[in-house]
Structure formats: C-alpha cells, structure tokens
Structure 1
Amino acid sequence: MNNEQERTGGERAKNTEPTEGRGRRPRMPLAVSCSLLILLALAGYAAFAPLRVPEGRLEIEIPAGSSSRAIGELFQSRGLLRSKWTFVAYATLAGEAQNLKAGNYEFFGRVTVPELVQALSAGKSNERIITVPEGWDLSDLGRYFEREGMFPAAELYAVTGAPPGTSQGRNPKPKPKDFSKEFPTLADKPPSAGLEGYLFPDTYRIFRDAPIKEIARKMLANFERRIDPELRAEIARQGKSVFEIITVASLVEKEIPHAEDRPIVGGILWERLRRGLPLQVDASVNYATGKRETPSAADLALDSPYNTYRVPGLPAGPIANPGLGAIRAAVYPERSSYLYYLSAPDGRTVFSRTLEEHNAAKVKYLK
C-alpha cells in the first residue's frame, strides 16, 4: 500500500513537472498580444502623426462622388499621407466615410489624418462656385468676374484674348495665351484667335484665390472632355476642323433658343456655306459691335471679319461659348430643303425655302 502510495505520489509529482509543449502555451497569447499592441501603436502613430504639407501649402480638388479610398489615394499621391489605408481606416472608424464632401481644399504647415477627415466631412473647402451659362461670350464672362469682385475683365482678356466689341478688342488687342500643347482640341485653332468658344459653359468649383489662367485651364479641360473621341472622329471624317465646328456651333447657340430647331439651323448654315451664300447671321454682327439689339443698317455695313452680311464664309472665329447641344447640332446637322430662317418675337424659329418666302415671313413676324 505504501508502495502504491509512493508510486501514485511519484506519478503525481511527475505529472506536475512542466513539459516542453505545456511550458510554451501560456507564452503564445502574450506574444501575439504584444505584437498586436505594437501594430496598433504603429497604426495609431501613422494616423495621428502630422505630416508636413509639401512646400508648406497645398491646394487639392476632391472630385464629386469620390470614395474614401479614392480620396486616400489622391492624398497619398500628393504627399499628404504615408498610406491611403490610414485615411480609409480612420474615416471608417470615425463614421465619416460616407460624409466626405467634394470641393477644393487648402492645407498648410502640418496635417494629421484626423484633420484631413474632419476638413472633408465638415466641407471646410477654400472654394467658390461659378456658373457660366451656355451662349455667354468673353465680354459676358468679363462682366461676371467684375460683378463678383474677382478681377477686372482686362485680366481675363489678357489670357483669353478680347472680343472685338470691347475697347480691349479694338486697340491694342491682347494676344491670347497658348494652351494648345496641353489641349489637343486647340491644335487647329489659328494662333491669332482667342479662346472664345472653348471655355465650356458649366458650373465650376474653383479656389477663391485662383488666378484667371487656372480658371481658363479648368474650363478648357472640361471642353477637352466634352469633345469626346466619337465627336472628334466624326469631325475628322467630315473633313472639318474643331475650330470650324465650334464657330458654327456658336452661331447656332446665339441664334436659336430651342434645341429641336438647332440641327435644322446647323444644316442651313453648312448648306449656305457649301453654295457660297453669305450666312447673314445677326448675332455675328452684334459680336462685332458689342450691341445686343437688332443690328441697324449701319451695323450691317460694318467692315469686320465677323460681319457675315459682308464677308463670305464663316466669321473670323466663334462668337460665344456653345453648349454641347449646339456643338452636336453643328457636327450632326439635319438636312432639309430650307435655306433661310428667322427668330420670331415669341421665340419660334420660322424656316423658309426661298428668299421670297423668307421676306414674307419677315413682314409677317418682324414688322
């Protein structure tokens, strides 16, 4: 019995001695926990440690509809983040991933990920919104910028060139900046022609202190996107230039208010050009004079490359900035038997096949 007790006791003692496997099991969770804590600490440091803003000041545009990942990638590419994932993770954990607002933002000095998320969720952007309606010309745009207290029209014309109906457009005439190396759609524009027609009408988010050159560049980039490969291929197939298309589109934009009539008028203008007939577009005369009312007899006799009553072919260039509808009407005109049109006081477009019909329509609608 004593021997059994001794054996049993010995067995108990033996069983309580630590084995190799049993001795390491308690250490594994501890090692994993330490590793996780270290990783969390590093992640926290990456998220909260401030990063110096490149060159001390950075302006950045967050496009509409951007996800937190896309914004993180943008910030990382501009040097504001070490990793996009710190931004994504913090925005998600903070419950702000769906609240990040588009806009133009400005950052100074040093910033942290929480500060980036907070700025975008609060919409603290350094921006203003400008809206350029379809059919505005450079003089309209110049007056708008002056009215908004942004800068004088002369600064706009120094970049874009000046319309002929303004004092700057007569003498001396500023030479427009050359953006053709940046935007291929400008490649066939004559060097002497300004940017009239190419500043695409739209609503823009811009930095409050953005110089006019950057605003023009943003509008030109929009134009470049809108004249998509399909349109460019069709223009080339027709043997026309973008400059010619935009010139015709600007005439259509200024003359015709209703979208359904625009392809018909586009067809009339191209057919008159084909036959060698003068276009006789009142809006081109008003562009030359700077007036808004119906051209007078003296206006119609004006010696100007924009006076389509006197000069054959197209005017010297676009007379306004057309929208996409007018551009497509110039690219895809509707064939018809009409050669004449007029705009009635009620906004209707009245079409005629012969000069006699057209003169009768003028008596009926315009007298």
Structure 2
Amino acid sequence: MNNQPRENYEQRPRRRRGPSGCLIVLLLFVALLIGGGIYGASVIGEIAGKNATTEEVTVTVEQGEGPTTIAKRLAEAGVIKRPTVFRYYLRYKEAAGSLQYGEFTLCKGASYDDIIETMSQYVKRDTVTITFPEGITAQRMAQLMEENGLCTADEFLACANGEDGSDFSQYEFWNEIPDDPDLFMKCEGYLFPNTYEFFLDDTVYNYVNTFYAEFDRQVTPELRQQAADLGFTLEEIITLASFVQEEAGNAEDARVSAVFHNRLAEGSPYPRLESNVSSYVQNPDDNNYIYNWIAPYYGGWDNIPANIYAAYNTYEKEGLPAGPVSNPGIEAIKAALNPDQEYLAEKYYFFVTDKNGKYYYAKTMSEHQSNVNVAFSQ
C-alpha cells in the first residue's frame, strides 16, 4: 500500500473554456438563417399584401416615367416599403411595359399584383392641346395658357421668369441667361414654340418646364458649339434668331441672317440692326416688340423705363438688343448660325419687302432707297 499523500486534483481551480470556433460559426449561421428568414418573410408578406389597409392614396405617374420613378412614387405615398423589391418583381412578372400613366387610387400595403393590375389600366386625365407658332412672344404664350384654362398669364410668366422662386437650373441654358437689369423678360426666346398636350390639373412649373425641356432638346450641344465658334453666346444667337424669325421666318432666313451678321460685324458702317421688329415706331399695325408688348406691360408707351427702351430700340442701340424679342423656331435658330455665305461675303446691309412678300436686298443706302421705292409701288 502506497502511503504517499495523494494530489488533490479536485482542489485546483478549473479553467473555463469558451465556445469553440466551430460553435461560433454555427451560432452565426443560425442567427443569419433566423434574420434572413424574418426579412424574407417580411418581403414575401409585402409582396402578398398581408399588411394591406383600407387607407387610400392617390399616386400620379407622368407620361414617360419608368419603373424606377414609379416605384419611388409608390414608396413615397406609403403604398410599398421596398421600391427595389418592387422593381425586381416587375421584371420577374415582365409587367413594367404594361404600366400606364395617370392618377391611380391605391390602398397602402396593397399586394404587388393588385398594384400592377390597377396601374396597368389606363386612367384618362383631361388634357388640352395648344399650338404655339414660331415667333410667338412669352406674353402671348401666357395668354394662350390662361385662355385654355391651365393657369393665369401672370402665374405662367412669374414661373417662367423665376420670379416666384421657380428654378430651372437643371438646364445649362438657364444658368447662362445674363442677369441684366435691361433684360425685359428672362424667359423670352427659350419657351420653345411647338404643339403641346397639357394635363388640365398639372402644376404651373410642369407647364413651363415642358417648353424649356423642348428647347433643351432642340438646341443641341452641337448648335451651342457652333454659336461659340462664331463668337456668340447662346443668348446672342437666340436674340439674333428672334429677329430672323420676325423679319423672315421663311426661305429668306439665311439671307436676312447674312444682312444682320454684316451689320453686327466689327467695323460695320451700319452697326445698328435698325429693325422695325423692335423700334421707336408707335403704330399698332406694325409688329413692334416695344409698342405691342413692352409698352402694355408697363401701362403705356410713356411708362416704359428709359433703360428698357434704350436696350430694345434697334434704331438707337448698336449691336443686338438686351434679349430676344420672340421665341424663334429651330429653322430660324439654324439660319442665325448659318447665314448665306454669298450675301455675307458681298456685304449686303439692307433688305425690304413689298406687300407680296418679295425681298429686295442692297449693299448701299442709295440702292436700298431705290428698292424701297420699288417695293412700296407694288
């Protein structure tokens, strides 16, 4: 028998062991499964409309808006919570192309299938179609908007000129319009004339934006670069184009443009446009921007601010006036950029038309006076 004292192992403190690495991984995996399962169940529930309510909201989709914008609008209205999931569901169901534009009444939390079914049905919104001819002024555009029950003329102009705080800085041209106290209307020249269909219940901002978006589409970067290559700002080219539009607006555009280019050229013996389109003449029968549009705006000819009158009277002011005198079409804009090279090189400085619309061009004042005598004898 061994009488040596036995070592008391039970009295030693035991080292506690934590979970093994494998156990940690297992626990994480289980947690992910649980979390993923909860999220997955939540997504499936949203798709199926398990939390649908009876609360109705109106969602408006504009023409041309795609799945991304539509999903965002639905989320903002509280109809869905996960716009990304909705977009993927549209793709899975191949339903994106069936969605319509208009106003839709939907319940918050509605199933995705119910949403798609509702939004796949065309909802008619009352519209009005208006044609704005090339060379129309901003004020006349505003009057047409009011006459068609879309908004008041004052509301339209306040928005178009940014006077009500409206911002169109998403367009490069808007940021380039000079901040000039002599400029009569900031919007003049950029409200692109065309035929448009408007919703009767839309916002004034959207109405104005329709014109600006079309201008931005029509006046391409290539045209803008062409203006820069000629040494003109965009504002100057649109101003010149407005005179080409008013003085011609037909097959004579390029020749009329050449006459104005020659007058604007450095060292020109006739540095004023001297166009009746914007002049000192007080005659209701003339198409005169100062008499027909500026004067009424200020309550009469005698009330026109001196700086505005001086900035737009082309018989006194050298070069271009402060801004456009109408909203030109694309052909007039292109003519302003592409004057007739023969008439440009031959230095034609004058033109006049007879009552039949025939144009007579001249290089000298004496030739021009002879043409005037002929034109007015027709």
Contact 2:350 2:361 in 1 (8 A): yes
- The corresponding residue for 1:316 is 322
Q: 186, 192, 196: which one pairs with 2:174?
A: 186
Contact 2:255 2:339 in 1 (8 A): yes
- The corresponding residue for 2:258 is 267
Q: Counterparts in 2 of 1:104-253, with a 5 A limit?
A: 105-110=102-107, 112-119=115-122, 124-161=124-161, 175=163, 179=167, 181-192=169-180, 193=183, 194-253=186-245
Task: Indicate whether 1:281 and 2:283 are aligned.
Answer: no
**2-structure distance, mates of 1:86, 1:310:** 64
**2-structure distance, mates of 1:126, 1:91:** 26
Worse-superposed segment, 237-246 or 338-347: 338-347
Contact 1:288 1:304 in 2 (8 A): no
- The corresponding residue for 1:166 is none
Q: 75, 83, 87: which one pairs with 2:70?
A: 75
**1-structure distance, mates of 2:241, 2:159:** 23
Going from structure 1 to structure 2, the CA distance change for 1:303 and 1:152 (only over 3 Å counts) comes to same
Q: Normalised by the size of structure 2, how large is the TM-score?
A: 0.65
Sequence identity, in percent? 28
Classify the secondary structure of the residue corresponding to 2:261.
helix
**1-structure distance, mates of 2:51, 2:131:** 37
Q: CA RMSD in A?
A: 3.6
TM superposition shift of 1:46: 5.0
Contact 2:242 2:325 in 1 (8 A): yes
TM superposition shift of 1:112: 2.1
Which ranges of structure 2 fall in alignment gaps of 5 or more residues?
1-42, 76-82, 108-113, 280-287, 295-300, 303-307
TM superposition shift of 1:196: 0.3
TM superposition shift of 1:345: 1.8
TM superposition shift of 1:253: 0.9
**2-structure distance, mates of 1:333, 1:140:** 29
Contact 1:256 1:262 in 2 (8 A): yes
Question: After superposition, what is the alpha-carbon deviation per residue over 1:163-190, rounded to whole angstroms, capped at 9, x for unaligned?
Answer: xxxxxxxxxxx95756463211123312
Classify the secondary structure of the residue corresponding to 2:320.
coil
Contact 1:72 1:84 in 2 (8 A): no
Going from structure 1 to structure 2, the CA distance change for 1:105 and 1:90 (only over 3 Å counts) comes to same
Q: What amino acid does structure 2 have at the position aligned with 1:284?
A: S
Q: Normalised by the size of structure 1, how large is the TM-score?
A: 0.67
Contact 2:290 2:309 in 1 (8 A): no
Contact 2:59 2:74 in 1 (8 A): no
**2-structure distance, mates of 1:184, 1:71:** 24
- The corresponding residue for 1:59 is 60
Q: What amino acid does structure 2 have at the position aligned with 1:114?
A: E
Classify the secondary structure of the residue corresponding to 2:274.
coil
TM superposition shift of 1:156: 2.2
TM superposition shift of 1:243: 0.4
Number of residue equivalences: 288
Q: What amino acid does structure 2 have at the position aligned with 1:224?
A: D
TM superposition shift of 1:250: 0.6
**1-structure distance, mates of 2:246, 2:88:** 47
TM superposition shift of 1:198: 0.5
What stretches of structure 1 move > 6 A for 4+ residues in a row? 47-52
Contact 2:190 2:215 in 1 (8 A): yes
- The corresponding residue for 1:328 is 334
**1-structure distance, mates of 2:173, 2:375:** 40
Going from structure 1 to structure 2, the CA distance change for 1:318 and 1:291 (only over 3 Å counts) comes to closer
**1-structure distance, mates of 2:248, 2:203:** 33
- The corresponding residue for 2:360 is 350
TM superposition shift of 1:324: 0.8
Classify the secondary structure of the residue corresponding to 1:146.
helix
**2-structure distance, mates of 1:281, 1:238:** 22
Contact 2:136 2:326 in 1 (8 A): yes
Going from structure 1 to structure 2, the CA distance change for 1:77 and 1:309 (only over 3 Å counts) comes to same
Going from structure 1 to structure 2, the CA distance change for 1:186 and 1:313 (only over 3 Å counts) comes to same
Which ranges of structure 1 fall in alignment gaps of 5 or more residues?
1-41, 64-69, 162-173, 293-297
Question: After superposition, what is the alpha-carbon deviation per residue over 1:82-112, rounded to whole angstroms, capped at 9, x for unaligned?
Answer: 13664885769xxx95xx87xx622334362
Question: After superposition, what is the alpha-carbon deviation per residue over 1:202-248, rounded to whole angstroms, capped at 9, x for unaligned?
Answer: 22233322232321122112211222111122122222111000000
**2-structure distance, mates of 1:88, 1:262:** 54
**1-structure distance, mates of 2:52, 2:115:** 6
**1-structure distance, mates of 2:149, 2:51:** 36
Going from structure 1 to structure 2, the CA distance change for 1:213 and 1:356 (only over 3 Å counts) comes to same
Contact 1:72 1:85 in 2 (8 A): no
TM superposition shift of 1:74: 4.8
- The corresponding residue for 2:3 is none
Classify the secondary structure of the residue corresponding to 1:107.
strand
Classify the secondary structure of the residue corresponding to 1:149.
coil
TM superposition shift of 1:314: 0.7
Q: What amino acid does structure 1 have at the position aligned with 2:221?
A: P
